[in-house]
Structure 1
Amino acid sequence: MSRVRQVKTNFTAGEISRRLLGRKDLRAYDNGALTLRNVFIHPTGGITRRSGLAFVDTARGAGRLVAFEFNTEQTYLLAFSAGKIDVYRDDARVATVDAPWSEAQLRQIAWTQSADTLLVCHPDVPPRKLTRTGADAWTLSDWAYVAEDEAVRLPFYRFADSEVTLTPSGTTGAVTVTASAPVFDPLHEGTRIRIKGKQLVVTGVASATSAQATVKEELPNTTATVNWDEQAFSPRRGWPVSAAFHQDRLVIGGARDLPNRLWLSRSADLWNFDLGTGQDDEAIEFGLLSDQVNAIRAVFSGRHLQLFTSGAEYMVTGDPLTPRAIQLNRQTRIGSPIDRTIMPRDVDGATLFVSRNGKEIREFLYTDTEAAYQANDLALLARHIVQSPRDQDFDKRRRLLFVVMEDGSIGALTVYRAEQVTAWTRLATDGAVRSVAVVGDDVYVLVDRAGTWTVERFDDTLNTDSALVGSSGAAVSTWSGLGHLEGRRVAVLADGTVRGEATVVTGRITLESPAKEVEAGLTYTHVVEPLPANLLGQVADGDFVRLVEVGFKLEDTAALRVDLGRGLFDMPLHRLGPQPASGSPPPRVSGDRRMRALGWRRDNDKPLWRIEQDAPLPCTLLSVTMSLKVND
């Protein structure tokens, strides 16, 4: 009989798939876990019961959360819902703006920000500009392109066949424009066309080959010509899909009827898309020509201008970008989702994006050795966690990428490339999370709790969800303000001690004994389950294994509930000596806590211990030491 001592020093591989149970030769096996639920993984290796969710406000319904950061001191949360945008500052709603997007359309909106302006795109809705006009004053307006005399410098494109001609009946004023083939549609009314470089506005459509128009720039003659085009964006042709700011230019990526086309404004003239004669500061336009139509899903300003399409990822180079110097190079062939827009996020110089198959989070990273981008799969070891993402954002303070899944859970990825840390865990709450946004150092989520929609914020001081805290100079028994949890059972911490649960009635709870400070919210359970002990080369099939002793290195922990093979029990955290008085807050302890275990096991493919705790108290686990006996 041999004795084995194992030390698990970190969890920097996170929760890994059961398909790796046979790969005990991997470093990820020693640093991973079988189950990690509702915990944050620190880049240093330890794990902590995740922060609770503070209740911010009742939301209007399904939608998207968007961060707006004017500067480090003035940050806002924008909650998009059907027909509305609610603006929050310091957890208070400060403004509401009417908006044109329906609930179904919100899944396809894309946005980009510059200073006090947020540009919002959707392929079926005219793009809008949300502008902060004061501390709490906001306006939503249409994009306004540069106007020079009667000409508007917006993008144009020739949609019709090259042999189709237009013939104007005059050179000024109101004219009739006749086409040699069907090209006009009633939706052309109000849009601009150019004939021989001069602009007209369509005022009416008589038929597919005839339209009335007002000349804005005098035409040179009335002869038929193939030299004509029309607005690239219009009710007839659709609207931009995505936008970004790069090298002092506004970049528009794709449109409904031009999905693989890219437009860059004039340098330092963001709303001027006049191509001019191709001078260095003039606008740029080109299409992505490849073996298939790669519809642009996002444009991103990183080390280079990056294009994320339905079938590939591209790098646009040029230092600076000019009509003569610009180059487009396809880098990888992964693709992005086409049924919804999930904004790429910058993490330490890499751009993280969701793959088209909805099962991968890819890291689009430039490598100097190859002078090209690679797209490594960050979910390779945790494929079971990443299932149909619908939103994502990165929290720089915690170094966590929050990925909202279609099932309402959150995949939390701890990323620290310098230390080769890529660790997944799954976060769940009593309800379904539908959107996430990181505003400064705060992480907000939009949650559907059985039809009650709420905006909530991760709060390190809380251990319950949808929680409210209150205080009173004198101890009281009745606490109100919980209308968003009407009829629900909530966990209660009163004066730092766990008071069990109470039912919310007419927005209130009543405690059995009064308290001065209270936290009330929904409970959640955190689970830590290691992989089966790595006894590669030490145990043969049929050998018995016994856990003799397990030691947990804790930090700032108030409760620890473990299962060592015979059911869950509360592990005593206090050493011999005076115990905490009954009813007083449990003290937080740090250091090693050990427990003996009994029982031989023949099944070596099951974990030897497990932590599962719903008590709303903090818990941080840094490392685990196991002493084993093997009956060989």
Structure 2
Amino acid sequence: MAKQVLQRLSFTAGELTPWLAGRADLDPVSRGASRLRNFLVSPFGGLRRRPGTRLVVRAGCTEGAVRLVSFKYSTGVQFMLEVGRGYIRYFKDGAPLPDAEGGVLETPTPWKTDEQVGNLRMQQLNDVIYCVEPSTPPMTLARHADDDWRLEALEFSGMPYESSLFNAVRLECRMVRDGSANRLLATADEDVFTPEMEGREFLRVTRKYGEAVVEGTQMPFYHLTNLDRDLYKGETFSMDREDGWRQAYTCIRDFSRKNDYQPGVNRPERYTAFFEKGSDASARVHVSGAWTLETTGTWDAEWEICRGYPDGSNYLPNQPELVWHSVKSFQQRDGFRNNFTLSGNEEEMSYYKIRLMAYRNGVSTGTPVFRAAAGSFNHEMVVEEYVSPRSAYLANALHLSYYVLGDCETNDWSFGAFGVRNGYPCTVEFHQGRLWFGGTPGQPQTLWASRVDDFSAFTPGIPSDSPMILTMAASQQNRISWIASLRGLMIGTSEGEWRLSASNSEGLNASNAGFERHSGVGSASLDALTVENSLLFVQQGGMKVRELFYSLEADGYQTRDVSLLSDHLLAAGIVDWTVQRSTAFHVWCVLGDGSAVCMTLNREQNVAAWHAHRLEHGRILSVASLRGSHGTPDEEVWFAVARGEGKRACITVERLADGNVCLDACTEAVVQGEKMAGLGHLAGCGALLLDGEGACLPISVDGEGNAACPGRLDGETVTVGLAAPAEVRTMPLETLETLGRFKKQLGARALLHESTLKFRYGTGHPDAWRDFQPGRYGVAEPYSGYVRMIHNYGMDEQSCFALRVETPDQFNLLALVLDVEL
């Protein structure tokens, strides 16, 4: 009988589907395994046993959905967030952040149901996370200090609206008397209002206005010779200058003679916190288009024209102020007798006013005349009170209103893009200095982009940096599943994958933005992951992972199925995932059955290896990655795990990190009276006890979380956790020459690196395991080098070789050399 030596020098193809059992002609088959459990594939080709998980804390709830979200401000400042029904909790350096009462720091949230927690999407920028969920308004979670996190509704300075086109429904607005107050009643000719809209639904009503004219005639209230008096905010006055003119001033803060005045100091310039130069000489006028200013005659004065914008918090219930800037100064005096004609154009809504800066007493100051051209104005209203399906009372949604909406009938109106009617955004991303929202339930294929570097402004305008509303022209109205910034804004829908990019070399704006479809695969509702220069996304259905990458040959983006050879591992469907950055990229996926799979990805070394992981007596709910708490270069993986049933049910937050013993849900326990308490998360389970000398003993944890440990000393600290057995099984030991022939395994040599010798070997059949006998090696653990296993299994056409480790010790396999007899 012929003897063959088969080598398995690499496992960089990971666990392969059983459908490849007969494909000895394929290269991945020689680099793969038929089973990988709780092993990580190294980019160098070997296998490394997965570290165990360490219990961080019990979650803030005992049932329901729990999500983990990483917060990475910098390499040295990182947090893990636990999001559950109605709360967020925080962790730093592997431990929960305490509150003032010694508990875990917690923030209440509006996401009260499992569906809301599951649909939540978050995108971080510096110290702020922008949060979107289809049934609640966009929120911001800001870190002001490690123990000061604030969750607030996103404050819009310009609200996006549903459409800029004329509405088919006609709206009539009338000011009516309601008790002692005048209220604006809106009546539509179709059913458009619902009771849920009260206080939550915005409207845009556009009206046209004629030319506005104001004159600069207002003089300062009085003339002062000193500041030895009380002055109040808004008062104006003048004081003599050295050149004989009078300088105008405005009090910007209450000035107290008793507390603020300094005897003998009578120049307002010395009190910059209380006074500013100039006084308003005209009413404020709204400008949205062309404007002009003219002066005539002979006069002696210094004037200034100013422009103001809301400060970015103009929506109720905020308290905004106008931020004013000088547009132009002009003057006339002896030796300089010129009049002025100034003009400009405002592409966005703003205020203008005329200010008197200085004048010569007893002489005309002139009368500047400011004209704002006729134009239209978008009134932003909110449904204040529901009356019927066709009528509701409206209120101004702004504190600073340019015009008051009065009686009118119009088709030029629209509901807001976000609200009860359309829902709220499903996805969020940052791209080219803009905040992007993608898809609401009512407008599933629309994108809303903020103004550049102003993440609160979403009302479209004319300048290139203005906000944008863009809708994909697709044959089907499928929801946007994810958006991601790469070379352009990549968009995944349930029907295909698209790219939004500029048609020229400029940044994206309303005039050059265009959509291109690059794939018709379709995406599941999970955020895409950026890995190197490509994107990974979950295919519609949740059972495949695809890579979206740029192809020079195709001059465009293409997709490939990176889970094709291991698709059996994803049969339960992916429900959450993250990428762990270390020597290679590890893409961790949580499946619908509570298990996890991981893909080791390193394109430079042609590594795309999938491997399966299970936590005993637990069902994984969520996964996230974070920089190691002990200064290690690799990121740690965190899990939210549901454990126990009925009264014993709990959810734990656990951390998988290098250096952990190979026990899951492990924690430290102190022996008292040969017993241990505080093991509630292991209630009813068989566990392992590991003492300081490395001895490992099985124990049983009762329903109350207590365990007996006879023979242990009081005060002794031990490690308790669940076994995490690891197993590797080769693909059938075949070549093209031996395919289908009966074979007999004679022995195997395994090359180990810093490994325990307490392992078992066999064919993978439950009855065929044998304990390795390390006695003849006479070496200390951890061991590096070859070990030989001699066995004599029966004849088989598709024989496999397997190794299994059940002790909580480290095990690293570099290569296998197998002796087979035909």
TM-score by length of 1: 0.91
The residue that corresponds to 2:150 in the other structure is 139
Give the secondary-structure state (helix, strand or coil) at the position aligned to 1:434.
Answer: strand
The residue that corresponds to 1:402 in the other structure is 588
8 Å CA contact 1:342–1:391 kept in 2: the answer is yes
The yes-or-no answer on 1:414 pairing with 2:607 is no
8 Å CA contact 1:199–1:217 kept in 2: the answer is no
The residue that corresponds to 1:187 in the other structure is 196
Identity %: 27
Match of 2:515 among 309, 328, 332: 328
Match of 1:154 among 141, 150, 159: 159
The yes-or-no answer on 1:393 pairing with 2:556 is no
Partners in 2 of 1:124 and 1:37 — Cα distance?
Answer: 39
Match of 2:639 among 445, 462, 465: 445
Between 265-274 and 502-511, report the one with greater CA deviation: 502-511
Partners in 1 of 2:717 and 2:393 — Cα distance?
Answer: 72
Match of 2:126 among 109, 115, 121: 115
Give the secondary-structure state (helix, strand or coil) at the position aligned to 2:392.
Answer: strand
The residue that corresponds to 1:360 in the other structure is 544
Partners in 2 of 1:598 and 1:176 — Cα distance?
Answer: 91
The residue that corresponds to 1:45 in the other structure is 45
Aligned residue identity for 1:393: T
- Shift in Å at residue 311 of structure 1? 1.1
The yes-or-no answer on 1:251 pairing with 2:448 is no
Partners in 1 of 2:782 and 2:43 — Cα distance?
Answer: 22
Distance 1:234 1:116, change over 3 A: same
8 Å CA contact 2:427–2:437 kept in 1: the answer is yes
Partners in 2 of 1:498 and 1:8 — Cα distance?
Answer: 33
The residue that corresponds to 2:235 in the other structure is none
- Shift in Å at residue 510 of structure 1? 4.3
Partners in 2 of 1:86 and 1:129 — Cα distance?
Answer: 15
Match of 2:799 among 598, 606, 610: 606
8 Å CA contact 2:435–2:449 kept in 1: the answer is yes
- Shift in Å at residue 82 of structure 1? 0.9
Partners in 2 of 1:112 and 1:400 — Cα distance?
Answer: 21
Distance 1:485 1:575, change over 3 A: same
8 Å CA contact 2:428–2:438 kept in 1: the answer is yes
Aligned residue identity for 1:530: T
8 Å CA contact 2:174–2:406 kept in 1: the answer is no
Deviations, residues 504-533 of structure 1 (Å, cap 9, x unaligned):
355454434447663210112211111111
Match of 1:522 among 715, 719, 722: 722
The residue that corresponds to 2:485 in the other structure is 301
- Shift in Å at residue 382 of structure 1? 0.8
Partners in 2 of 1:545 and 1:184 — Cα distance?
Answer: 77
The yes-or-no answer on 1:343 pairing with 2:346 is no
Match of 1:616 among 808, 814, 822: 808
Between 478-487 and 359-368, report the one with greater CA deviation: 478-487
- Shift in Å at residue 70 of structure 1? 1.6
The residue that corresponds to 2:409 in the other structure is 224
Aligned residue identity for 2:393: Q
- Shift in Å at residue 50 of structure 1? 1.1
The yes-or-no answer on 1:553 pairing with 2:746 is no
Match of 1:77 among 76, 80, 86: 80
Aligned residue identity for 1:195: V
8 Å CA contact 1:119–1:128 kept in 2: the answer is yes
Partners in 2 of 1:512 and 1:567 — Cα distance?
Answer: 34
Distance 1:411 1:170, change over 3 A: same
Partners in 2 of 1:286 and 1:98 — Cα distance?
Answer: 34
Unaligned runs of 5+ in 2: 98-104, 207-377, 628-634
8 Å CA contact 1:166–1:179 kept in 2: the answer is yes
8 Å CA contact 2:167–2:414 kept in 1: the answer is no
Give the secondary-structure state (helix, strand or coil) at the position aligned to 1:418.
Answer: helix
Give the secondary-structure state (helix, strand or coil) at the position aligned to 2:88.
Answer: strand
Distance 1:538 1:189, change over 3 A: closer
Give the secondary-structure state (helix, strand or coil) at the position aligned to 2:746.
Answer: strand
Aligned residue identity for 1:194: R
Match of 1:213 among 394, 405, 414: 394
Aligned-residue Cα RMSD (Å) equals 2.4
Distance 1:574 1:554, change over 3 A: farther
Partners in 2 of 1:538 and 1:37 — Cα distance?
Answer: 28
Partners in 1 of 2:447 and 2:667 — Cα distance?
Answer: 48
Distance 1:611 1:443, change over 3 A: same
The yes-or-no answer on 1:168 pairing with 2:352 is no
Between 490-499 and 51-60, report the one with greater CA deviation: 490-499
- Shift in Å at residue 7 of structure 1? 1.1
Deviations, residues 420-472 of structure 1 (Å, cap 9, x unaligned):
11111110112111100111212100111122211001133211110014689
Partners in 2 of 1:154 and 1:162 — Cα distance?
Answer: 18
Give the secondary-structure state (helix, strand or coil) at the position aligned to 2:536.
Answer: strand
The yes-or-no answer on 1:128 pairing with 2:139 is yes
8 Å CA contact 1:544–1:600 kept in 2: the answer is no
Partners in 2 of 1:281 and 1:447 — Cα distance?
Answer: 45
Distance 1:226 1:12, change over 3 A: same
Match of 1:567 among 762, 768, 771: 768
Aligned residue identity for 2:86: G
Distance 1:3 1:164, change over 3 A: same
Aligned residue identity for 1:433: I
8 Å CA contact 1:170–1:176 kept in 2: the answer is yes
- Shift in Å at residue 67 of structure 1? 0.7
8 Å CA contact 1:343–1:391 kept in 2: the answer is no
Match of 1:596 among 782, 790, 794: 790
- Shift in Å at residue 560 of structure 1? 2.1
8 Å CA contact 1:55–1:466 kept in 2: the answer is yes
The yes-or-no answer on 1:177 pairing with 2:199 is no
8 Å CA contact 2:5–2:819 kept in 1: the answer is yes
The yes-or-no answer on 1:463 pairing with 2:463 is no
Distance 1:496 1:371, change over 3 A: farther
Give the secondary-structure state (helix, strand or coil) at the position aligned to 1:133.
Answer: strand
The residue that corresponds to 1:484 in the other structure is 681
Aligned residue identity for 1:422: A
Aligned residue identity for 2:493: T
Distance 1:538 1:163, change over 3 A: closer
8 Å CA contact 1:529–1:610 kept in 2: the answer is yes
Deviations, residues 67-105 of structure 1 (Å, cap 9, x unaligned):
111211111111111111111112322210111111232
Distance 1:224 1:491, change over 3 A: same
8 Å CA contact 1:492–1:501 kept in 2: the answer is yes
Distance 1:551 1:211, change over 3 A: same
The residue that corresponds to 1:493 in the other structure is 690
* Paired residues, number: 607
8 Å CA contact 2:669–2:678 kept in 1: the answer is no
Partners in 1 of 2:494 and 2:451 — Cα distance?
Answer: 27
Give the secondary-structure state (helix, strand or coil) at the position aligned to 1:105.
Answer: helix
TM-score by length of 2: 0.71
- Shift in Å at residue 12 of structure 1? 0.5
8 Å CA contact 2:577–2:623 kept in 1: the answer is yes
The residue that corresponds to 2:781 in the other structure is 587
The yes-or-no answer on 1:104 pairing with 2:301 is no
Give the secondary-structure state (helix, strand or coil) at the position aligned to 2:409.
Answer: coil
Deviations, residues 132-168 of structure 1 (Å, cap 9, x unaligned):
111221111111111xxxxxx1101139984322222
Give the secondary-structure state (helix, strand or coil) at the position aligned to 1:28.
Answer: helix
The residue that corresponds to 2:19 in the other structure is 19
Partners in 2 of 1:345 and 1:229 — Cα distance?
Answer: 36
Partners in 1 of 2:511 and 2:751 — Cα distance?
Answer: 61
8 Å CA contact 2:7–2:818 kept in 1: the answer is yes
The yes-or-no answer on 1:67 pairing with 2:77 is no
8 Å CA contact 2:501–2:514 kept in 1: the answer is yes
- Shift in Å at residue 228 of structure 1? 1.1
